[in-house]
Structure 1
Amino acid sequence: MRLSARILMLSMITPLLAAGQESTPEPAKPSLPTIRMEPVLGGQVFRAPVQVLPTPSSKPELAMVEQRGRVIAVGLETGSKKRTILDMRDKVRLTQSEEGLLSIAYDPDQSKNPHVYLYYTASKPRRTVLSRMNVKPDGMIDKSTEKIVLEVEQPYWNHNGGTVLFGPDGMLYLSIGDGGAANDPQDHGQNLGNLLATIIRIDVHTDEAPYVVPSDNPFVGVEGARPEIWAYGLRNVWRMHFDSKTGDLWAADVGQNKWEEVDLIVKGGNYGWRLREGKHDFNNPEGSTVEVIDPIVEYPRSAGGSITGGFVYRGEKIPGLQGAYLFSDYMSGRLWATVMQPDGEPFTREIYKGQPMAISSFGEGTDGELYVCGFKAPYDSKGRIYRITGMSTD
């Protein structure tokens, strides 16, 4: 299998040779089309958008999550005037680049549970907060109704995660970073006794405050382990996503110094941090027998410096990308698609040939089409929303 876009380090498939016979031809590789970025919402500018998602409105509408603590809604069809549906800047700590309002998730059953869940950084003490607020019939989010679901004390300012989302099982999932600094100095990655460096799974549809742990979580009843944990050994999963067709959980884990990675998350999985970075030993004691799960894709820091996980494409406008997982790198502006081949091996190709764009996050419309929050350069505060569209035949 070829190296994709000159950088992605994937396994090579060696043809089988038989004495006196020709080698078996290598299967044809998938044809992944390149894409374009089309500005939407009239090209309006947002202040450091870190997430784009549909609102529960009956009319097509997107919500943009601004890192500093606002959520802005704009009509999708008309690119109508912005309306601020939440301003919680007074609650959000934003003194460093990885802090702020990091993500939100609307409850999938708004008729029964008109709530939105939010994940953000806060001060005194320094911590990350998962909370719930009510959504009014007009789409406004009522800050006065905030209910704290979970708080995680953070030893450092960086590596907070984090995506909050609902799974196809109705449970709430949250990615939490390893606590920060560098090299995981407090060894949170392999410590099941804390929630750092994990993805957790909890049931928030309960009368028992503030949540309950599902009985089928993998570490329920394990001595010394936090039962909320679904998977661990993850350095800093900034973005993750459930495939709307298969239910697979895809996560992009930001690396330390050398490797960025894409993981398929499974129940109870150990993804290796800080024993390994990607598929490579990092701080792995000699003779260690700990079983860890390899990433689906990894790429070196020569290709970027901070992976942004995306979505599996399930729209209809770009058939050649059907079932492909899209992801990008915030620092280099490159964008790739990965598909799983019949033999179980991934095939990855760089699919965006336009002006490099710092992508902080992907989003999915109700029709399965994908959007990105894009900046001209990393740390630019003026971001726009683009729709992934178009096809070329190169």
Structure 2
Amino acid sequence: MKKSFSILTLVFIFIFSSCSNSDDINLKPIEDESVTIVNTFPNLSFSRPLDLQSPNDGTNRIFVVEQRGTIKVFENDTEVTESRTFFDMSGNIASSDELGLLGLAFHPNFESNGYFYVCYTPSSDLSVVSRFKTMDNDPNMADPSSETLLLQIPQPYTNHNGGQLGFGPDGYLYIASGDGGSGGDPDGNAQNLGNLLGAILRIDVDNTGNGLNYAIPNDNPFVDTENARPEIYAYGLRNPWRFSFDVRNGNLWTGDVGQGEKEEINIIESGGNYGWNILEGTSCYNAMDCDDSGTITPVFEYDHSNNDRSVTGGYVYRGSLNPSLVGYYIYGDFISGRIWALDNVSGSMASNKLLFETSLPIASFGTDQENELYICSFDGNIYKIVEQSLP
């Protein structure tokens, strides 16, 4: 989903994930016997779920994004027996390879204004960020005629589209944008402030300016930099697949998918350069020109020695059901299905512990209104980490 794999490899992964079921998955904890993984909504199934969001409006609803263009909504109850189609964009989306409906975010005032935001690919050479709203008489149904176009990002290749959306504690909308694809960033997009690729973007959706349907926050780091796109908040990223804010301190965490050797976890800072394609993790990628001055070191990196090949960014756990995990950054790998807990420290490489080895193609993590953590898997299920009482 996020790596520079061939179409044949992606087809294989899809066939594998379509045929797997929860009985085939090794859910045995590795280092912490007090936690396990459960299929949270056993009566529901999804097609390639890659995002899970809560509107935080007090309704305790869960929204699941499916890559081919639909958003499902249902009550957050393990015994729920059916979901409803909140939005169906499948007729207007290119969804092969790494294309599709890639991200969803609810406005902080969603309860009163009904606004939500999506990132999708209407064609193989374009990513779009748009605002929609719910139907006036039905909060479980989107109004397809309500689209307000915010951003269009040309995509030179079909992979590395990013697509995660999220509102920060500052009320601004953050957008993850990959480097444009292919392999090795052949066009040097991630180090080029003149385009919107290979970056985390930040825009103000509550105001407009300069003929746009959004405004640029005054404190965005490159607003006064000549020839730089003022939407850029941080850059030097390859494919920041899934980011999240720590609800306790506001830190912005992201997993950045590596090329052929390293996967990395970053805490994103305003104006930060995270090194790609000069560096892959902490290693020199472009050996002819490896000046790493001014770049920010990952909080953690791992190699591909255990079939770990495509990091899926997660969340700093702030729920109540798993006391032993509070404060840890929980993340996984799409290919190996392994899940880790990373010490929430910054400034140097953090310590990391393996929680689970699974066969799950882990596409995303998400949280509900109580900050409990969920796992979106391409086997069609939504899982949850649960701490058990031990004698």
Q: CA shift at 1:56, angstroms?
A: 5.3
In the TM superposition, 1:1-394 aligns within 5 A as: 35-55=35-55, 58-77=58-77, 78-96=79-97, 98-123=98-123, 126-136=125-135, 137-208=138-209, 209-286=212-289, 288=291, 290-303=293-306, 304-340=308-344, 345-353=349-357, 355-375=358-378, 382-391=379-388
| Secondary structure of the corresponding residue to residue 71 of structure 1 | strand
Change in Cα spacing, 1:392 to 1:339, as seen in structure 2 (3 Å) is: farther
Larger Rg: 1
The answer on whether the counterparts of 1:103 and 1:163 sit within 8 Å (CA) in structure 2 is yes
Q: Structure 1: how far apart are the matches of 2:201 and 2:347?
A: 31
Q: CA shift at 1:340, angstroms?
A: 3.5
1:268-315 alpha-carbon deviations (Å, 9 max, x no partner):
000000000000000154473632111011111123111000000001
Task: Provide the TM-score with structure 1 as the length reference.
Answer: 0.86
Q: Structure 2: how far apart are the matches of 1:245 and 1:112?
A: 25
Q: Structure 1: how far apart are the matches of 2:108 and 2:278?
A: 37
What's the Cα RMSD here?
2.1
Q: CA shift at 1:341, angstroms?
A: 5.3
Change in Cα spacing, 1:301 to 1:345, as seen in structure 2 (3 Å) is: closer
Unaligned residue ranges in structure 2 (runs of 5+): 1-30
- 2:6 counterpart residue number: none
Amino acid at match of 1:52: L
Change in Cα spacing, 1:286 to 1:70, as seen in structure 2 (3 Å) is: closer
The answer on whether the counterparts of 2:57 and 2:110 sit within 8 Å (CA) in structure 1 is no
Amino acid at match of 1:385: I
Task: Provide the TM-score with structure 2 as the length reference.
Answer: 0.86
Change in Cα spacing, 1:263 to 1:341, as seen in structure 2 (3 Å) is: closer
1:5-39 alpha-carbon deviations (Å, 9 max, x no partner):
xxxxxxxxxxxxxxxxxxxxxxxxxx966631111
Amino acid at match of 1:219: F
Q: Structure 1: how far apart are the matches of 2:70 and 2:174?
A: 22
Unaligned residue ranges in structure 1 (runs of 5+): 1-30, 376-381
Q: Structure 2: how far apart are the matches of 1:343 and 1:173?
A: 23
Change in Cα spacing, 1:286 to 1:129, as seen in structure 2 (3 Å) is: closer
Q: Which moved more, 1:33-42 or 1:61-70?
A: 33-42
Amino acid at match of 1:201: R
Q: Structure 2: how far apart are the matches of 1:223 and 1:307?
A: 34
Q: Structure 1: how far apart are the matches of 2:122 and 2:100?
A: 8
The answer on whether the counterparts of 2:282 and 2:298 sit within 8 Å (CA) in structure 1 is yes
| Secondary structure of the corresponding residue to residue 257 of structure 1 | coil
- 1:378 counterpart residue number: none
Change in Cα spacing, 1:95 to 1:341, as seen in structure 2 (3 Å) is: closer
Q: Structure 1: how far apart are the matches of 2:292 and 2:384?
A: 45
The answer on whether the counterparts of 1:34 and 1:352 sit within 8 Å (CA) in structure 2 is no
Q: CA shift at 1:238, angstroms?
A: 1.1
The answer on whether the counterparts of 2:317 and 2:327 sit within 8 Å (CA) in structure 1 is yes
